[in-house]
Amino acid sequence: MNSTEQLNLFRLPPVVPSPKARHIMIGARIVPYVLRQGRRRRLSMTIDERGLAVGAPRSITLAEIEAFICGHGPWVIEKLDEHAARAVPRQITVRHGTRLPLLGGEIEISVEVGANRIIWQGDRLVLAARPGADLDLLARRALQRRALPHFVDRATHYAAALGCALPNVGLSSARTRWGSCSRHGGIRLNWRLIHLSTHLVDYVVAHELAHLDEMNHSPRFWAVVERVYPDWKTARGELKRRGREMPIV
């Protein structure tokens, strides 16, 4: 397989349309939320520093969606208040001079006038942006482009260590999962792992590739992980801690 064919295996995911911003009354409180409707099988909710996000199938009506939210009203308010009480907000608004962690180091973002181009210059990310451009979106695209080849490289290493063929590697933007694995679809890794140290990325890669042998979390599965990543218990604990601190762009 030549380099062009390899790159075609690892395309970035398509740009997802912006979610719809809405508001709902929960008791006496007005709660903003974003609604993402698409090819989903059920309703779901997630809450972080950005607030409440609701995922819904296209066939579900707005009345059904908001009844679902209100049905979980106490939980929604409790979680929103927990995030509001955090001393250090994780939500980052990208601007000139913004600094972000990247694979154990740090990068600085420079914003210049341009045609919405992304330029990497070592540990400096240049966003050559049009007036009014969505800098957060440009930064996410840049980070995803940086993440994908690194993830492919680490997957290549651990696939060889496990003695398996390199599966298709893709990116995900999941808010609650670091990765996923399918014997037919390959592995998908959360692009936000790019904010963490390389050894934690390695742990997630090894973890997902191990699922090609064991599609579970049985002792047999962890034995596969340990064969290629002996310090997995320490990494798993650190990932939980670091994941709560990583920035949200």
Quote the CA–CA distance of 228 and 15 in Å, as a whole number. Answer: 34
Q: What confidence category does residue 11 fall into, taking pLDDT thresholds of 50, 70 and 90?
A: very low
Average pLDDT on 227-249 reads: 89
Strand partners, 48: 51
Q: Residues 135, 79, 45, CA angle at the centre, nearest 5°? A: 70
Residues 223 and 139 in one domain: yes
User: Is position 123 within any domain?
Assistant: no
Q: What integer pLDDT is reported at residue 2 of this predicted model?
A: 43
Q: How many domains does the chain have?
A: 2
User: Is position 125 within any domain?
Assistant: no
The domain of 189 spans: 134-243
Residues 138 and 199 in one domain: yes
Residues 159 and 234 in one domain: yes
Q: What integer pLDDT is reported at residue 225 of this predicted model?
A: 95
User: Is position 138 within any domain?
Assistant: yes
92-114 per-position pLDDT tens digit: 889 899 999 999 999 999 999 99
User: Is position 151 within any domain?
Assistant: yes
User: Is position 14 within any domain?
Assistant: no
Q: What integer pLDDT is reported at residue 125 of this predicted model?
A: 95
Q: What confidence category does residue 184 fall into, taking pLDDT thresholds of 50, 70 and 90?
A: confident
Residues 145 and 77 in one domain: no
Q: What integer pLDDT is reported at residue 16 of this predicted model?
A: 46
Q: What integer pLDDT is reported at residue 88 of this predicted model?
A: 54
159-173 per-position pLDDT tens digit: 999 999 999 999 998
Q: What confidence category does residue 19 fall into, taking pLDDT thresholds of 50, 70 and 90?
A: low
CATH of the domain at 180: 3.30.2010.10
- Full-model pTM: 0.67
Q: Which residue has the higher pLDDT, 86 or 23?
A: 23
User: Is position 205 within any domain?
Assistant: yes
User: Is position 98 within any domain?
Assistant: no
42-82 per-position pLDDT tens digit: 899 998 877 899 999 989 899 999 999 999 999 999 988 88
How many other CB atoms sit within 10 Å of the CB of residue 62? Answer: 13
User: Is position 93 within any domain?
Assistant: no
Residues 236 and 147 in one domain: yes
Compute φ and ψ for 82, nearest 5 degrees.
-60, -45
